[in-house]
Structure 1
Amino acid sequence: MAERLKATPEILEVCKEALEQSQVIAVPTETVYGLAANALDLSAVEKIFKIKQRPFYDPLILHIDSIEKAQLFCQFNSLAEQLAKFFWPGPLTLVLKKKPIVPDLVTANLDSVAIRSPQHPIFQKLLKILPFPLAAPSANPFGYISPTSAEHVETSLGDQIDIILDGSNSSIGIESTIVDARNPEKLAILRPGPITQEMLEARLKIKVCSIDSQADSTEKHPLRGPGLLKSHYSPQTPLELISLESLLKLAQNEKGVGNALLFLKKPSALNSFPSPVQKNIYWLSEDGLDLNIAQNLYRQMRMIDAKAYDRILVERLPTESGLYSALTDRLKKAAYS
């Protein structure tokens, strides 16, 4: 069974030794917890796929602590340099042309690699003492809800790894934004995340497109990064997105019994709901702020999923701008069947 360890200098050395010996460990990041291994060690990377039951066609993200190290593994262009300067360390993953040193297993045999420098101070400290990059997808069974705490990892994968580096709850709570930066003249968002389209456009002074808005929508796009499948982040309990009006109607009568009703914001009329329904009411924030919704999304989904409801009915987000774009992406994929 995995040991949850606090990140003292001595424990970081223990983690370094484990990674040098082809072991897989769980690490904290500001987005979600990762399942980490030496990205240049094929036997270690294979263990990631085996533990997660992850298909080999789904590429992994390389994690490094600096732009200088990133340039050892991929071909930076002027656009990538700007993005890394503005947003690293942080929750932005760049897809760039890879260098031969990166194993094909990491990149699903593609000529590109997804790479980022994480912001979490503990993960940064670990990366700085390593002579290699880490491949680190989310530390959960493939397709399931991502973990945002050491406890989540222990519940899902604790019997398959030895070390969980405990860095408290993830401060952001959803996965990084992934952008295709191979073409310095055209930046495309492959997966929305904490670094929003609006933030990218404001900083770069260019128009940023998304994979859904590319000219040829019939083109078969290879998976250039993780989290791009139609179904992902999914609880075992069926999940549906419905309007706030519909959710309130269910909450106001006993038809809500048997379903978990998940609001974006704590309902002001909570105490007026029938008693049998009240225990099935959950919310993602006290105030409706997108950052708080993101921090609580996976934690609430995991907690509700453990309670054997018939369905999880989630309030549909009011807009798809800003961080809501990423939240909508995660919930739509969680609901996909």
Structure 2
Amino acid sequence: MLTFSEAISLLQKNQIVGLPTETVYGLAGRADSVEAIEKIYAIKQRPMTNPLIIHYATKEMALQEGIFCHLGKELVSKIWPGPLTVIVQKSLHSKIVSKAHCNLSSVAIRVPNHPVMHDVLQKVGGIAAPSANLSGNLSPTTAEHVNRAFLGKIPVLDAGACSIGLESTIIDLRQHPFVIVRPGYWTLEKLSERFPNIIFEENNSVDIITPGSSFQHYAPKKRLFLNVLAPFPSEMGVIGFGKIHINENSKCFVQLSEEANLEEAARRIFSALHELDLSSQCSCIGVTPIPGFGIGKAINDRLMRAALQKN
């Protein structure tokens, strides 16, 4: 595992490292370096048409990289640092290389709320950091998940498990009302309390302009079934939410939240999928119903994309 100073040194040399955030671990490289950005796409095997999220240490630094309307500035000023990404027009003075945002006029920006990532960003400047996994696979919420995804070939700065465990909410600030294009911790319900002029829009576009918006994403290797109910097949590993009766034939069971707490479930969902995907005791994975309100909407969004089968 990396030390803090080693991570800084590697990033400054345009190398790629795994870094912790409050959402998931990121595969990080300097946003002002074409070499680093190309390495991220190559290592992740990510389509070059799928833009990256750029991270900054402070909202003041982030605001210089994009063009924000008055209400947009007000929104991020009240929420950053935190698990919120915004899409804005790129500033003419931005140092973000065009490959990081697929030559689009827009750019996705956030200010993470994680002490280690914050300190790295203060030293290095803007960093592109998509999830530290192969494109389309399960998101990593621990350093071990990153090591497993890349067979230990990517150095990781280990800061323990991510506190939120689900990717950031993404809001498009280029239109009014503002549009949530990827659900996350900052739910429509939470945002509407402060900013009533926000809507949610299902992303059905063929063109990918939003990071993490491809139809099939976040997928385990095993087949995934949603909204399963008891009795469960004996070969199925089960991820439960709330009070679940497990029949004696079930070989694997992981509980997200016995008390039906959605934030606890969000924090544990990817770890649960990783655990059962590795288990030799089950051949497929089933998830019991999870409510679709609040952060449950984000959980179900990830599960729906994960359940789509590869061709």
Q: Which interval holds the TM-score relative to the shorter structure?
A: over 0.9
Deviates most, 141-150 or 76-85: 76-85
2:201 aligned partner: 211
Distance between the aligned counterparts of 1:86 and 1:71, measured in 2?
13
Instruction: For 1:254-333, list aligned pairs within 5 A.
Output: 256-265=233-242, 267=244, 269-270=245-246, 273-274=247-248, 276-277=249-250, 279-308=251-280, 309-318=282-291, 320-333=292-305
Q: Percent identity?
A: 35
Structure 1's unaligned 5+ residue stretches are 6-10, 251-255
Instruction: For 1:127-146, list aligned pairs within 5 A.
Output: 127-130=121-124, 132-146=125-139
Distance between the aligned counterparts of 1:205 and 1:333, measured in 2?
28
Kept after mapping to 1: 8 A contact 2:66/2:107? yes
| Greater fraction of residues in helix | 1
Q: SS at 2:225's partner residue?
A: strand
Please tell me the residue identity of whatever aligns with 2:158: D
Aligned residues: 306
2:163 aligned partner: 171
Please tell me the residue identity of whatever aligns with 1:201: S
Distance between the aligned counterparts of 1:119 and 1:158, measured in 2?
28
1:248 aligns with 2:230: yes
Kept after mapping to 1: 8 A contact 2:147/2:153? no
Q: SS at 1:284's partner residue?
A: strand
Q: SS at 1:260's partner residue?
A: strand
1:334 aligns with 2:306: yes
Instruction: For 1:1-337, list aligned pairs within 5 A.
Output: 4-5=1-2, 11-100=3-92, 101-130=95-124, 132-161=125-154, 163-183=155-175, 185-206=176-197, 208-212=198-202, 220=205, 222-243=207-228, 247-250=229-232, 256-265=233-242, 267=244, 269-270=245-246, 273-274=247-248, 276-277=249-250, 279-308=251-280, 309-318=282-291, 320-337=292-309
Kept after mapping to 2: 8 A contact 1:97/1:111? yes
Deviation at 1:84, TM superposition (A): 1.2
Please tell me the residue identity of whatever aligns with 1:127: L
CA RMSD of aligned residues (A): 1.6
1:36-64, CA deviations, whole angstroms, 9 ceiling, x for partnerless residues? Answer: 00011001111101111111010000000
Distance between the aligned counterparts of 1:229 and 1:145, measured in 2?
14
Structure 2's unaligned 5+ residue stretches are none
Please tell me the residue identity of whatever aligns with 2:235: G
Distance between the aligned counterparts of 2:4 and 2:240, measured in 1?
40
Give the 3 Å change call, closer, same or farther, for CA 158–83 of structure 1 in structure 2.
farther
- Structure whose alpha-carbon radius of gyration is higher: 1
Deviation at 1:234, TM superposition (A): 0.3
Distance between the aligned counterparts of 2:243 and 2:145, measured in 1?
24
Deviation at 1:158, TM superposition (A): 4.2
Deviation at 1:98, TM superposition (A): 0.7
Deviation at 1:227, TM superposition (A): 1.2
Give the 3 Å change call, closer, same or farther, for CA 151–159 of structure 1 in structure 2.
closer
Distance between the aligned counterparts of 1:14 and 1:281, measured in 2?
39
Distance between the aligned counterparts of 1:222 and 1:258, measured in 2?
38
Q: SS at 1:47's partner residue?
A: helix
Distance between the aligned counterparts of 1:159 and 1:327, measured in 2?
28
1:2-42, CA deviations, whole angstroms, 9 ceiling, x for partnerless residues? Answer: xx13xxxxx33322221110100100000000010001100
Kept after mapping to 2: 8 A contact 1:42/1:105? yes
1:8 aligned partner: none
1:284-318, CA deviations, whole angstroms, 9 ceiling, x for partnerless residues? Answer: 12321001101110001011011253321111223
Distance between the aligned counterparts of 1:29 and 1:281, measured in 2?
28
Q: SS at 1:62's partner residue?
A: strand
Give the 3 Å change call, closer, same or farther, for CA 257–88 of structure 1 in structure 2.
same
Kept after mapping to 2: 8 A contact 1:95/1:224? no
Distance between the aligned counterparts of 1:102 and 1:38, measured in 2?
9
Deviates most, 15-24 or 88-97: 15-24
Distance between the aligned counterparts of 1:137 and 1:22, measured in 2?
16
Distance between the aligned counterparts of 1:194 and 1:113, measured in 2?
21
Deviation at 1:65, TM superposition (A): 1.1
1:135-158, CA deviations, whole angstroms, 9 ceiling, x for partnerless residues? Answer: 000001110000000111111124
Kept after mapping to 2: 8 A contact 1:176/1:194? yes
Kept after mapping to 2: 8 A contact 1:266/1:282? no
Deviates most, 35-44 or 222-231: 222-231
